[in-house]
Amino acid sequence: MKNLKVIFSILIFSTLISCSKNNTKRSIQYMSDTDMYRPVPYEAYAANPNFKDGLSSQPPVKGTIARGQVPYDYPNTNEGYDAAKLKYKSPLDSTKINLKKGKNLYGIYCAICHGNKGDGQSILSEREKFNGVPNLKDREITEGSIYHVIMYGRGVMGSHASQLRDEERWQVVHYVQELKNELSK
């Protein structure tokens, strides 16, 4: 009983002082002058003494890759073409290859020159707007070389790297191989 009285008095006392008016002052703030508490903002294009070149806007760190992008290390040279032809392999196994998707994309981006069958008979070659579109069956192509040509183009054919994402390029590659097989029968 005595104990209970003591506990009660402490409780009431602490309740009273916690409500006293004097307690509205701010307490001590540690590290109050550091940048961690108050960061210094810099405008994107304004001067910034923290970098060697004195600019706020810095290029991405070397080796940075945009989300979803796959680096392609073969250069746009004859050697690069030959190396890709030999070594660059599709990451898609047979369960991921989607010929329907490949056909669709080929129809959008390639058939206008190469023709629906890949034999070079297309509206543009018929009208002699684009000469020299090959019949795919006459070209020695591999999955790596087709990917390389999609990346950089070849001769009068332009690059299609910006139209197609990595996986889409491979879907087109597999469809082109299918067309070549059909043509070679």
Return residues touching ligand HEC (CB under 6 A). 109-110, 112-114, 130, 132-134, 139, 141, 145-146, 149-150, 154-157, 160, 172, 176
Whole-number minimum distance, CB 98 to ligand HEC, in Å?
Answer: 15
d(CA 141, CA 154): 13
Between 54 and 132, CB nearer to ligand HEC? 132
Measured from the CB atom, the residue of 48 and 82 that comes closer to ligand HEC is: 82
Residue 185: exposure state from Cβ atoms within 10 A (0-12, 13-18, ≥19): exposed
Between 46 and 123, CB nearer to ligand HEC? 123
The CB-of-61 to ligand HEC minimum distance in angstroms stands at: 32
Residue of minimal Cβ distance to ligand HEC:
155
Contact 146, 154 (CB under 8 A): no
Q: Largest Cα–Cα distance of the chain, in whole Å?
A: 109
Q: How far apart are CA 81 and CA 149, in angstroms?
A: 8
Task: Give the separation between CA 49 and CA 21, rounded to whole angstroms.
Answer: 46
Q: Give me the least distance between CB of 138 and ligand HEC, in Å please.
A: 9
Tell me the CA end-to-end span of the chain in Å, nearest whole number: 103
Structure tokens at 51: 């970098």
CB of 166 to ligand HEC, least distance (A): 13
Q: Which is nearer to ligand HEC, 92 or 112 (CB)?
A: 112
Instruction: Return the number of the residue (101 or 139) whose C-beta is nearest ligand HEC.
Output: 139
Smallest distance, Å, CB 102 to ligand HEC?
Answer: 9
By beta-carbon proximity to ligand HEC, the closer residue of 90 and 145 is 145
Min CB(135)–ligand HEC separation in Å: 10
Contacts of 105 (CB under 8 A, 6+ apart): 164, 168, 171, 172, 175
